[in-house]
Chain A
Amino acid sequence: EADIYQTPRYLVIGTGKKITLECSQTMGHDKMYWYQQDPGMELHLIHYSYGVNSTEKGDLSSESTVSRIRTEHFPLTLESARPSHTSQYLCASSESVRGLYYNEQFFGPGTRLTVL
């Protein structure tokens, strides 16, 4: 069983609030990712990190920001939440690439965000 945690699991907030979604993993993985997913729909990569102090934007433009100060921690922040940010946010991690055997991603349980 993967050891990757996300808090909160559910969050309902008002427009304009600043929020931080937490993601932690205890597997020592270098790579971490944030995906945005509407129910039953595609996974959209919004941020990723290949190690401490490394962060990159993903395929889907997002107003959120991330930081990677510690290997195990990869929080996502929205400075001013809007209803369009309502979605599920999934955090994932994986080990570094070893040749062709790109290691699988382990996903956290997700945070369901609703912005009113």
Chain B
Amino acid sequence: GQQVMQIPQYQHVQEGEDFTTYCNSSTTLSNIQWYKQRPGGHPVFLIQLVKSGEVKKQKRLTFQFGEAKKNSSLHITATQTTDVGTYFCAGLISNFGNEKLTFGTGTRLTIIP
């Protein structure tokens, strides 16, 4: 079954408000990646986090990897209409030497102008 869950599934925010999506795994992750998919488009890689407790920033976007490496978050400050889309986390899960990237369920962000 699905091992990487995201909440919320949908988020509607007023332009200028902040937005956060959370990613939770039932198992420890080797690393986590974040992707953005614009409406009608395909997923595009944003960033990768590897270390426990790691925090990375890209302009208004802040990505965090939990201390236990089982959860992650993406926070967008002062949203803009260009932030519209679905945000997916993807966790690398190692299982007896086999590694597989498992995508989360996604959070769809819509912006009210």
**Which of B88, B90, B101, B105 has the largest number of chain A CB atoms within 10 A?**
B101
Query: Smallest CB-CB separation from A59: which chain B residue?
Result: B102
A12 within 8 A of B: no
List the A side residues contacting B35 at CB < 8 Å: 105
Closest Cβ neighbor of B99 among chain A residues = A97
Q: Say yes or no: B43 contacts A90, CB within 8 Å.
A: yes
> Is the beta-carbon distance between B31 and A42 smaller than 8 angstroms?
no
Interface contacts (Cβ under 8 Å), in number, total 50
Asked whether B88 lies within 8 Å of A43 as measured between CB atoms, the reply is yes
Measured CB to CB, the closest approach of chain B to A18, in angstroms, equals: 25
| Chain B neighbourhood of A110, CB < 8 A | 42
What CA separation (Å) do A27 and B86 show in the bound complex? 26
**Chain B nearest Cβ from A43, distance in angstroms:** 5
User: Per DSSP, are chain B's interface residues mostly helix, strand or loop, or mixed?
Assistant: strand
**B7 interfacial contact with A, CB 8 Å:** no
**30 pairs across A/B with beta carbons < 8 Å?**
A35-B103, A40-B39, A40-B86, A40-B108, A42-B103, A42-B105, A43-B43, A43-B88, A43-B103, A43-B106, A45-B103, A90-B42, A90-B43, A92-B43, A100-B30, A100-B31, A100-B50, A100-B92, A101-B31, A102-B30, A102-B31, A102-B33, A102-B99, A104-B33, A104-B48, A105-B33, A105-B45, A105-B101, A108-B42, A109-B42
Taking A41-B106, A97-B99 as contacts, is the C-beta distance between A104 and B45 under 8 angstroms?
A: yes
CA distance A107 to B2 in the complex (A): 21
Asked if B44 is at the interface of the complex by the 8 Å CB criterion, the answer is yes
Instruction: Kindly state the interface size class of chain B when it binds its partner.
Output: 20 to 34
From B42, B90, B101, B108, residue with most partner A Cβ within 10 Å: B42
Chain B residues lying within 8 Å of A105, measured Cβ to Cβ, are 33, 35, 43, 45, 90, 101
What residues of chain B lie closer than 8 Å to A107, measured between beta carbons?
Answer: 42-44
Which residues of the other chain, B, contact A43 by a CB distance below 8 angstroms? 43, 88, 103, 106
